[in-house]
Structure 1
Amino acid sequence: MLGYLFPGQGTVRVGMGAWLRRSPAARRRLEQVDAMLTRPISPLCARGPLDRLVATEHAQIAVTACNLAALAVLDEEGYEPAVVAGHSVGELSALHAAGVLDLAGTVRLVELRAGLMAGVDVRGGMRAVMGLPVERVEQLAEAASAPGEPVVVGLENAPGHVVVSGSPPALDRLAELAADADQIVALRVGNAFHSPLMAGAERAWAAAVEAALMREPRVPVVPNVTGEPTTDLAVLRRALVAQLTGRVRWTHTMEAIAPTPSAGMRETALAPVSVVEVGDSKVLTGLARRTGVRCLSMTDPATLRRLAKAVAA
């Protein structure tokens, strides 16, 4: 079995997509995406500047364009996934890979999502808390929150790698309380994603998701907010709305897609798969390594050869 993982917003950098343009299939896909957007994203990916590229309204589109181009490479090679998942905005790429959304629908929803989230007028931030279990970070978040100043666990990325999301004063209080953390790192993001501070975008996003043309998935999708594989289209719609303010349960996602002996086998886990990060990123490959899962990244020139060998095995 083959599992596809699609990276999210935190993977953007100037020059992203350069290797993809060497592939005719990927180049065509990038050109198609550019043509569907209000403004082409490829020039910004290639030349920056970085401060514009990392802005929410551009970053989500940029990473999705690269995800879709990398998927086009795998499609041309004849590969088909048995299960898919995407990290944060990467979930829309996963839905496309599963046949739920067509290309135009995917691009349209990503551009809308990016604009809605960028337009939220309540300011917040995100910080990675390293070296603590998620239960401890949840306790810290509860202690640091105050009326009108929430902070929550926004992403469970991997064991010992948890991201908190919320108002700046609450984030500062959490940092003061977390003396037992190995490290706390501020993320370069535009707001407090996957937190209650995104509620201002939720109504318009829910209406767009409800109106979007979607088909039953060809393969199971693992939504962020559940971490459980499903082929139920109604569940996928609800999960896509909920992840705007809800937690990304990536550790659970990896346990479902590629269970390891140390993690134990959940009842809902799928059979073991070969896993590939589909995009211009090694971020999910690194997170997979922290969970004991070997993941191939499409940014590695040897991946197609290694993937062929792994699938044959």
Structure 2
Amino acid sequence: MSLRLAILCPGQGGQHAGMFDLPRTDPATAAALQQWLPEAAPGMPLEQVLADDALLFSNRLAQPLIVAATAAAWSALQPLLPAPALVAGYSIGELTAYHVAGAISAPQAIRLAASRAQLMDACLQAAAPQVLCAVSGLAVRTLNAMLAPRNLYLAIETDADSCIVGGLARDMDLAASEIERLGGKIRLLPVTVASHTPLMDGAVEPFLQQLRQRFSTDPQMPVLSGLSGQAVVKKEQAVSVLSRQLAQTIRWSDCMDACAEQGITAALELGPGAALSRMLQARHPQIACRSISEFRSLRGVAGWLQRL
């Protein structure tokens, strides 16, 4: 069976102090990062950010730094890997996916991530903090029916009985006991904005305008839409999806199924973290899935794919 590779680009949650270490072992990438990182963390030494979780997980820094780390991994690995059949990205990772697909440069993706974070932060109100929570052990259909009257929203669907829920913290606190009574488990995520919910409506149009200015070419390989799992091959589609996904539900389960339907045989998550590769492996065990976080060298990543 011939190799059909999918590249997976992560969202927030897996960032860590060493997330630039492996890409920096490539001299060309290390030099590029010297140019990219001031865009991701302006006026702040990277080592200071990486050593302080309050900074590293703050929305304004997390989004551009995750894009920078993922883009750096791709820069270091691209010459060693076969051409991917498709790319998929989770939340902010969907923006990085268009860099991997050749539609935007790494600096453009990092700048857009910083703008995206700023626009989303502008939707926050100090008196009404927002949250994202992982909910498992409860059918998404059952959960979704109880969310609407409580002003809570299905932000990301990952399986029939697992998802991410977003909304105001006070509403989540009120709903938590009912979710647990029905057998669900709740875990608060280290994210301060209710991404992919109507609470982000105010960010959609201004981000759309920024995307239109930066996207000048079609992706060179299909990118899966987080809203539907459908393959995006035109820049106009990309701009529409990337703006709308700020305030609409991400169907990551559909993206994983699309990988299987399109005959993907191996998936490599560019990091930071390994959540996407683990989810895909659990849902479609026939696909060989790894994250670069599992390897000690760039050559080790390439060697794994060569052995498949």
TM-score (norm 1): 0.87
Q: 2:274 aligns with which of 282, 291, 297?
A: 282
RMSD of equivalent CA atoms: 1.9
**Partner of 1:80: helix, strand, or coil?**
coil
Task: Say if 1:288 and 1:25 are closer, same or farther in 2 by CA, change over 3 A.
Answer: farther
Distance 2:197 2:26 in 1: 38
Cα gap change, 1:307/1:159 in structure 2, threshold over 3 Å: closer, same or farther? farther
Cα offsets for 1:3-48 (capped at 9, x unmatched):
00000112122332223322324323322312444446732454x2
Are the structure 2 counterparts of residues 247 and 128 from structure 1 closer, same or farther at C-alpha, using a change threshold of 3 Å?
same
Amino acid at match of 1:272: I
Q: Is 1:70 the equivalent of 2:81?
A: no
Q: Secondary structure at the match of 2:217?
A: coil
Asked if the contact 2:68/2:106 (under 8 Å) is kept, the reply is no
> Is the 2:124–2:193 contact (alpha carbons within 8 Å) kept by the matching residues of 1?
no
Does residue 61 of structure 1 match 2:67? no
| 2:19 paired with 1:16 | yes
Where does residue 264 of structure 1 map in the other structure? none
Q: Structure 1 5/75 Cα, relative in aligned 2: closer, same or farther at 3 Å?
A: same
Note if contact 1:45-1:62 (Cα within 8 Å) is conserved in structure 2.
no
In structure 2, what residue type is equivalent to 1:295?
C
**Aligned 8 A contact 2:104 2:215 in 1:** yes
Aligned to 1:265: none
Q: Pairwise mapping of residues 105-184 of structure 1 onto structure 2 (< 5 A)?
A: 105-122=108-125, 123-143=129-149, 145=150, 150-178=151-179, 179-184=181-186
Match of 2:257 among 237, 255, 258: 255
Matched, 1:29 2:32: yes
Residues 45-70 of structure 1 show CA distances to partners (whole Å, capped at 9, x for unaligned) of 54x21111100001111111110111
Q: Displacement, 1:240?
A: 0.4
Report the alpha carbon displacement of residue 305 of structure 1 after superposing the two structures with TM. 1.6
User: Hey, what's the Cα distance between the residues in 2 that align with 1:235 and 1:41?
Assistant: 36
Structure 1 unmatched runs, 5+: 260-268
More RCO (CA 8 Å, sep 6+): 2
Specify the code of the residue in structure 1 equivalent to 2:306.
A
Q: Do 2:157 and 2:163's aligned partners in 1 also have CA atoms closer than 8 Å?
A: yes
State the AA in 2 paired with 1:277. Answer: E
For the pair 1:303 / 2:266, whether they are aligned, the reply is: no
CA contact (8 A) 2:49 2:55 kept: no
* Bigger Cα displacement from structure 2, 222-231 vs 284-293: 284-293
Q: Work out the CA distance in 2 between the residues paired with 1:180 and 1:225.
A: 28
**How far is 1:72 from its partner?**
1.1
Of 26, 39, 46, which residue of structure 2 is paired with 1:42? 46
The one-character-per-residue Cα deviations of 1:72-129 (angstroms, maximum 9, x if unpaired) are 1221214321100111001111001111112222122111112222232333111111
**TM-score, normalisation: structure 2:** 0.89
**CA contact 1:34–1:40 (8 Å) conserved in 2:** no
How many residue pairs end up in the alignment? 294
CA contact (8 A) 1:138 1:153 kept: yes
Unaligned runs of 5+ residues in structure 2 are none
SS across alignment from 1:280: coil
Report the Cα distance in structure 2 between the residues aligned to 1:80 and 1:187, rounded to whole angstroms: 34
Choose which of 80, 84, 88 in structure 1 pairs with 2:83: 80
Describe the SS at the equivalent of 1:13: coil
2:205 equivalent in structure 1: 203
Query: What is the aligned-residue identity percentage?
Result: 26
- Provide the secondary structure at the position in 2 that maps to 1:287: helix
